[in-house]
Amino acid sequence: MLMINLILILIVGGFAALISERFGQNIPRKVALAVVMLDLVYLLLSLSVMPELELLQAPQPSDPQSWLMHYSREWIPAFGIKIELAVDGLSLLMVFLTLILGAVAVSASWTDVQVRRGFFEANLLWTLAGVLGVFMAMDLFLFFLFWEVMLIPMYFMIAIWGHENRGYAAMKFFIFTQVSGLLMLVSILALVAVHQSNTGVWTFSYFDLLNTQIAEQTAFWLMLGFFIAFVVKLPGFPFHTWLPDAHTQAPTAGSVILAGVLLKTGAYGLIRFAVPLFPQASIEFAPIALWLGAAGVVYGAVLAFGQTDFKRLIAYSSVSHMGFVLLGVYAWNALALQGAVMQMVAHGFSTAALFMIAGSLQERLHTRDMREMGGLWQNMPRMGAVAMFFVVASLGLPGLGNFVAEFLILLGLFQVDRWLTVIASLGLITGAAYSLLLMQRSFQGEPDETRQLTDFGSREMLTMAVMMIALIGLGLYPQPVLDIARPVVEGLLNFSATVTGELL
């Protein structure tokens, strides 16, 4: 029941935040923070009674009993649809990331949202509930339900509390993700139909569908439906065009959740569903996916370099960084997959922090244009120092989590394609250029003496400190995360090798 309770706490907490606005404008944000922290503490307490060795055991992808947690109850028996949830090391890391960044997002909305605060915090909590469902659902019908549900409150967050062009950005976000989601639904239904024709049994269970015998051409097209849905959410080149608009127009908390959590559902889907369900088709498609990943790394970095909008620059940098995840997944070896998981975690912290800084600047300066900034470090030294930390983290400074992630991905990719590794490495060079350009334009130079600016306060510094400590910990001692992810990676590699007789 732990997994269901984690989702229910957020759903009920959303209604509590919505109602609490009647008792004061400041109550909803306190309720939202309390709900997210309650969920996090509940998860920690539940795991504290679990033997440590269980976290390090290798789960078999097709055996739910070997996973850390598994819950299954009949829902619509006529079609084999269940309420089936499960957690292994990979999904556990994603659940922790979701809850920690959920608390960061509530902090980011503390002063940013001034109208209908109860409804805003409710949508934030409901988005988190949908994301947890995505990371834990093992029935593909239930997975698709959560996949769609998490988009609705995020749409409202952008459309109602976004900036000047919020309507266009919200609609573009919704159309891209809905259309790609429908492609995945068609693939799910076709996969279930093929399994039923082979076995005579209707089932949407991931564990049952893993070993489905599918004709080669059919498997390729079904895999492509999953791939497009997940790469749109990642986002990967060339399906990334919704992201800069959504990030630029979203409120700060929306950008934090979008960059830190929602993009990771796409990466998670590739690792969990796209490759294991269709291993042979993925082998054939891997060269194309790797080239798309390398193109995304370089293309996103080059476009980021040309931006003058603070948030838009960070958005394009996300396209570049998530290109590394696509490379790590389709290199499909232990080093690259470990790097992809580490990148999902590290990117969540570094980019969420940068978007929070961007929101704080817009709140104080009423602009995102870096040409109208300059010299801010002298006016706001705490913000300048914090921004410098996350900028160098984003560009991959050794000793921080992003460096470990990208180094592992490139090391794993080198074993597959040396020239692609060289091309992807160019993204690191361009990344250093646009990151330092952002610092120079925003915080260096002559200050505007007429500005009366407020530096980061204790709440903002505490929030930033959490993410700074996380990135330093991931950089200096990444072993706990690698140990939790390693059994999952080994299980997936062994499974694909058993099915296909070779690795990707």
Query: pLDDT tens digits, residue range 104-134?
Result: 999 888 877 778 888 999 999 999 999 999 9
pLDDT reported for residue 56:
64
pLDDT bracket for residue 502 (50, 70, 90): very low
E strand intervals along 17-151:
69-76, 81-87
Q: Is residue 140 pLDDT above 90, yes or no?
A: yes
E strand intervals along 252-402:
none
pLDDT tens digits, one per residue of 399-417:
999 999 999 999 999 998 8
Please name the residues in contact with 205: beta carbons below 8 A apart, sequence gap of 6 or more: 72, 80, 82, 84, 138, 139, 140
pLDDT reported for residue 2:
85
pLDDT reported for residue 417:
87
Q: Is residue 370 pLDDT above 60, yes or no?
A: yes
pLDDT reported for residue 129:
95
Q: Is residue 22 pLDDT above 80, yes or no?
A: yes
pLDDT bracket for residue 162 (50, 70, 90): confident
pLDDT reported for residue 25:
79
pLDDT tens digits, one per residue of 458-475:
888 999 999 999 999 999
Calculate the alpha carbon distances from 388 to 74, 114, 123, 382 in Å.
52, 29, 32, 10
pLDDT reported for residue 267:
93
DSSP 3-state of 60 = coil
Q: Is residue 347 pLDDT above 80, yes or no?
A: yes
* pLDDT, mean of residues 204-219: 88
Calculate the alpha carbon distances from 67 to 181, 268, 483 in Å.
27, 17, 15
Please confirm whether the linkage preceding 238 is cis (ω < 30° from 0). Answer: yes
Residue 388 exposed, middle or buried by CB count within 10 Å (0-12, 13-18, 19+): middle
Q: Are 204 and 81 in contact (CB under 8 A)?
A: yes
Which residue type occupies 270? L
* pLDDT, mean of residues 225-253: 89
DSSP 3-state of 62 = coil
Q: What is the mean pLDDT of the chain?
A: 88
DSSP 3-state of 205 = strand
Q: Is residue 437 pLDDT above 50, yes or no?
A: yes
* pLDDT, mean of residues 61-71: 83
pLDDT reported for residue 456:
84
Please confirm whether the linkage preceding 279 is cis (ω < 30° from 0). Answer: no
pLDDT reported for residue 9:
94
Q: Is residue 503 pLDDT above 50, yes or no?
A: no
DSSP string over 360-371: HHHHHHS--BGG
DSSP 3-state of 451 = coil
Q: Is residue 54 pLDDT above 70, yes or no?
A: no
pLDDT bracket for residue 55 (50, 70, 90): low
pLDDT reported for residue 504:
45
pLDDT reported for residue 385:
92
Q: Residue 7, Cβ neighbours under 10 Å: how many?
A: 20
